[in-house]
Amino acid sequence: MDQKTFYITTPIYYPSGKAHIGHSYCTVATDAIARYKRMQGYDVMFLTGTDEHGQKIELNAAKAGVTPKEYVDEIVAGFQELWKLLNISNDRFIRTTDDYHVKAVQKIFKELYDRGEIYKGKYEGWYCTPCESFWTETQLKDGKCPDCGREVKWAEEEAYFFKLGNYADRLLKLYEDQPDFIQPESRKNEMIQFIKNGLDDLCVSRTSFTWGIPVDFDPKHVVYVWLDALTNYITAMGYGSGDDSDYRKYWPADVHFIGKEIVRFHTIIWPAILMALDLPLPKQVYGHGWLLFGDGSKMSKSKGNVVDPVILCDRYGVDAIRYFLLREIPFGADGLFTNEALINRINYDLANDLGNLLSRTTAMVQKYFGGSIPAQRQAEDLDQDLVAMATSLRGRYEESMDGFQFSNALAEVWKLIARSNKYIDETMPWALGKAPDKAPRLAAVLYNLCECLRIVSILITPFMPETAPKIQAQIGAGADVCNWDSADQWGLLPADAVVSKGETLFPRIDVAKEIAELDEILIQKPAEKKAEAPKREQPVEGVAMIGIDDFAKVELRVAEIIACEPVKRAKKLLKLTLNDGQGQRVVASGIAKYYTPDQLVGRHVVLVANLKPAVLCGVESCGMILAADCAGGDVKVIFVDEIPAGSKIR
Ligand code: MSP
């Protein structure tokens, strides 16, 4: 019988700057699933790579005084080194500058053109010459370029368009027919709303820069970077090249792992392109959350908060970092990365729980039995609970892993570790060791602990590929009893297994000292410290001063707008449904003149959460969102999209 295949991908990363911990997050998650599926017996294809074209890279290279290719070559090498360091087991690495990809993209573009799915049209808008950018009317700031503030002029540029607008119904039907296509569920609702607001045709070529794949039948155009990038998932398998056997074998992908901000490209544009080519669609797109940093922001070089994974791996070991990334934050949600949380996980979960279980067990086998557990073992009722928990663990773990709930899968494993540690306290092997006639009972206790460690070691392999074999070596378990099938079996460790106390897996860390050092070195500080703002001695004119206690009475929270509609009886009002992190609430806001509902849904705003409810034109409003009165009578809502809903503002 043919081996079942499993094809999983990461996004292809922009080599516009060094690889950082945010990139590592998705790649480590993808690696854990790839390893898990291989252990289960699948023929896995794991693809990652780099997305190397586009204006930003062209500009960065020009600034650095090198060619774009020279520029990306160096950064891509850094990505590849980091993946090696993190033990990433990708089967393939695609670069969009690879010749075979370039040719395949040109073929795909031509195919879409020949099928009438791409047509030549005109790109119109307000053009800023120094920035080489088109802007729509609403994007302009006071009629000027929103980036540089300079004058803009109306311009038209010849461009190719993909008939994305034709695919709205088919996409909505896809989401209905394949309810798991977009995960997690909340991201699906955002996409449905986006499509319902109207899908325009998509501009898929540019003439304003040259660092891209030329349209071969009209070479002054280069292919839009997202069309170039998305197709990597099939070109890497040979689609559009001579040998497409891997394409036929692995496509459609089982899942694309991507960050939440690029779900739209993967669940609207990508399936529409595939539909236009009459090709099968990926089975699932999973939009994970972001790793956020101290100030609640996504990592960004310009903010100077780029956490360097190489430094972390050097200090704590690769497996500790892999474990932390996937244990700390539920995969679909945003989560804070802090040095304190990292060190606590290492100390509690790895050094205390797992490390101690292994070192206590192996030390006792050596002390009482010279490293080999006697075959004569006496079971007791107490053991049954432990054995039942251990042999049923794989099932619970698989349930979580199949839904990409890494954190839950690990939590299940750690329950067995905690149960095993408790079993040591209950059975008191040190007391058994004192009575020679208790040797068979002591042998059973230590054997059971080794068996638990064997099962734990198998199940942590996808997460901690270096630690698992170290545990297996210390308990003397060979490969034949450490495969997937043996993870729900009991009593497989042979009687002649040689148990030896080895190196400490995870040394404990002095929290205070370490955090002080880490804060100093890890956060790459921006080169220049900004000049300190002059102290304000006077209150704002005409406004009374308040004490901190007055301010503390106002409960400010970040909330996500999950729905928005006009209020029939009041032209000025919009009715907003908010997720405030604890539940839903409705707020009426007088911003209808300044925003349409589609500009608001999905955005994060600041909510006054403890304002007494009031009925406004028939809508019971529970709270208020903050906005600024700007020059010229404009009102702008304060958006805080990068801060998770529910965060308290102080
Ligand atoms: N090149 C595109 C993807 C094309 S896929 C056909 C791109 N590249 S990116 O380098 O900007 O981002 C790649 C991935 O890294 C995204 O999925 C993004 O969410 C992820 N991350 C970057 N910083 C992150 C965090 N701080 N946390 C988690 N993931 C984040 O978009």
Which of the listed residues 440, 464, 486 is the one where a domain comes to its end? 486
Same domain membership, residue 481 and residue 561: no
Q: Which pLDDT score is estimated for 538?
A: 46
**For position 377, what pLDDT does the model report?**
97
List pLDDT tens digits, range 97-107: 999 999 999 99
Same domain membership, residue 464 and residue 357: yes
Instruction: Tell me if 427 is assigned to some domain.
Output: yes
Whether 526 shows a pLDDT value over 50: the answer reads: no
| CATH assignment at residue 374 | 1.10.730.10
Atom of ligand 1 nearest to the CA of 51: 1
- Residues near 560 by Cβ (< 8 Å), separated by ≥ 6? 578, 579, 602, 603, 604, 605, 645
Q: Whose CA is closest to atom 11 on ligand 1?
A: 14
Claim: this prediction has a pTM higher than 0.75 = yes
pLDDT for residue 540 is more than 60? no
Is the pLDDT reported for residue 537 higher than 60? no
Distance 24 CA to ligand 1 centre (A): 10
Q: What is the separation of C-alpha 648 from the centre of its chain, rounded to a whole number of angstroms? A: 23
Substitution candidate for ligand 1 out of 258, 268, 297, 337 with most atoms within 8 A of CB: 258
Instruction: Give residue 606's pLDDT.
Output: 95
State the Cα–Cα distance between residues 304 and 629, nearest whole angstrom: 30
Q: How does pLDDT run across 236-249, given as a tens digit for each residue?
A: 999 999 899 999 99
Per-residue confidence (pLDDT) for residue 548, from 0 to 100: 73
Q: Alpha-carbon torsion 26, 27, 31, 32, what sign? A: negative
Work out the mean pLDDT of the chain and round it to a whole number: 91
Q: What is the DSSP letter of 480?
A: G
- Domain that residue 423 falls in: 352-486
User: Domain end: 464, 486, 508, which one?
Assistant: 486
For 312-362, write each residue's pLDDT tens digit.
999 999 999 999 999 999 999 999 988 899 999 999 999 999 999 999 999
211 Cα: distance to centroid of ligand 1 (angstroms): 20
pLDDT in tens, 451-498: 999 999 999 999 999 999 999 999 999 999 999 999 999 999 999 999
- Look at ligand 1, atom 30, and give the residue with the nearest C-alpha: 22
| Residue 259: closest CA among 223, 299, 232, 294 | 299
CATH number at residue 579: 2.40.50.140
**Which of 88-92, 195-199, 398-402, 440-444 is least confident?**
195-199
Domain identity same for 474 and 597: no
Is 580 domain-assigned? Answer: yes
Q: Is the pLDDT of residue 499 over 90?
A: yes
- Note whether residue 522 is domain-resident: no
Percent of the chain scoring above 70 in pLDDT: 94
| Ligand 1 atom index nearest CA of 230 | 6
Split at pLDDT 50, 70, 90, the class of 533 is very low
Specify the ligand 1 atom closest to the Cα of 298: 26
Q: Which atom of ligand 1 is nearest to the CA of 11?
A: 5
Task: Pick the atom of ligand 1 nearest to 299's CA.
Answer: 26
- Pairing of the two strands 604-608 and 584-589: unpaired
- Best substitution site from 26, 227, 326 to test ligand 1's pocket, by max atoms within 8 Å of Cβ? 26
642 in the same domain as 566: yes
Residues 553 and 476 in one domain: no
Query: Under a CB-based contact definition with an 8 Å cutoff, are residues 145 and 128 in contact?
Result: yes
**CA of 427 relative to ligand 1 center, distance in Å:** 50
CA of 27 to the centre of ligand 1 (A): 10
Ligand 1 atom showing the smallest separation from residue 257 Cα: 17
Could you tell me the distance, in angstroms and rounded to a whole number, from the CA of residue 38 to the centre of ligand 1? 25
Query: For residue 208, how many C-alpha atoms fall within 13 Å in the half-sphere facing its CB?
Result: 21
In this structure, are 475 and 582 located in the same domain?
A: no
Question: What pLDDT score does 132 carry?
Answer: 66
Binding-site positions:
128, 131, 145, 148
Residue whose Cα lies nearest atom 16 of ligand 1: it is 259
Kindly give the number of the ligand 1 atom that is closest to the alpha carbon of 261: 19
Distance 72 CA to ligand 1 centre (A): 16
- For residue 6, report the phi and psi dihedrals to the nearest 5 degrees: -145, 120
Print burial letters for 275-292: b (CB count within 10 Å at least 16), e (below 16). bbbeeebbebbbbbbbbb
Q: What is the dihedral of CA 48, 53, 56, 62, to 10 degrees?
A: 120
Task: State the average pLDDT over residues 550-554.
Answer: 81
Question: Would you mind telling me the total number of residues written for the chain in this entry?
Answer: 650
Give the pLDDT score at 307. 77
Quick one: 196 exposed, middle or buried, by C-beta within 10 A (0-12, 13-18, 19+)? exposed
Distance 12 CA to ligand 1 centre (A): 8
- State the Cα–Cα distance between residues 73 and 89, nearest whole angstrom: 21
Instruction: Tell me the average pLDDT across 19-32.
Output: 96
Ramachandran angles phi, psi of 643, nearest 5°: -100, 130
CA distance 476 to 498: 5
- 250, 7 in Cβ contact below 8 A? yes
* Binding-site residue ranges for Zn(2+): 128, 131, 145, 148
| Contacts (Cβ under 8 Å, ≥6 apart) of 193 | 598, 601, 602
For residue 534, the model assigns a pLDDT of 37
Confidence at residue 532, expressed as pLDDT on a 0 to 100 scale: 39
Band (pLDDT 50/70/90 cuts) for residue 80 is: very high
Rounded distance from Cα 75 to ligand 1 centre (Å)? 15
Instruction: Choose the final residue of a domain: 486, 511, 540.
Output: 486
| Structural domains in the chain (count) | 2
CA atoms within 13 A on the CB side of 638: 15
Of all protein residues, the one whose alpha carbon is nearest to atom 7 of ligand 1 is 13
Shared domain for 554 and 631, answered yes or no, is yes
Shared domain for 372 and 480, answered yes or no, is yes
Which of 9, 16, 24, 25 has most ligand 1 atoms within 8 Å of CB, for mutation? 25
Residue 523 pLDDT > 70, yes or no?
no
pLDDT: which is higher, 522 or 370? 370
Contact assessment for residue 442 and residue 428, using Cβ atoms and an 8 Å cutoff: no
- 216-225 residues labelled b (16+ CB within 10 A) or e (exposed): eeeeebbbbb
**How many A from CA of 526 to the centre of ligand 1?**
22
Question: Considering only CA atoms, which residue is closest to atom 24 of ligand 1?
Answer: 22
User: Do 465 and 358 reside in the same domain of the chain?
Assistant: yes
Ligand 1 site-directed mutation target among 8, 9, 10, 14, most atoms within 8 Å of CB: 14
Reported as a single tens digit per residue, the pLDDT across 259-306 is: 999 999 999 999 999 999 999 999 999 999 999 986 666 655 444 445
Q: Tell me, yes or no, whether 78 lies in a domain.
A: no
Span from the CA of 535 to the centroid of ligand 1 (angstroms): 39
Q: Determine whether 51 is exposed, middle or buried from the number of CB atoms within 10 Å of its CB (0-12, 13-18, 19+).
A: buried
The verdict on residue 97 lying in a domain is: no
Is 90 part of any domain?
no
CA gap 231, 96 in Å, rounded: 10
Say whether both 435 and 356 belong to one domain.
yes
With tokens 């539940």, the residue in question is 583
202 pLDDT more than 90: yes
Looking at residue 121, its amino acid is G
Which residues form the pocket of ligand 1, taking CB atoms under 6 Å from any ligand atom?
A: 11-14, 22-23, 25-26, 51, 229-230, 232, 258-259, 261-262, 290-291, 298-299
Which pLDDT does position 148 carry in this prediction? 85
The average pLDDT across 376-383 equals: 97
- Residue to mutate, 290, 301, 328, 338, ligand 1, most ligand atoms under 8 Å from C-beta: 290
Residue 203 falls inside a structural domain: no
Please write the tens of the pLDDT for every residue from 594-639. Answer: 888 888 988 899 999 988 888 888 888 889 999 988 877 788 899 9
Whether 464 is covered by a domain: the verdict is yes
Same domain? For 554 and 465 the reply is no
Q: Characterize 226-235 residue by residue with b for buried, 16 or more Cβ atoms within 10 angstroms of its Cβ, and e for exposed.
A: bbbbbbbbbb
Residues 469 and 568 in one domain: no
Distance 83 CA to ligand 1 centre (A): 15
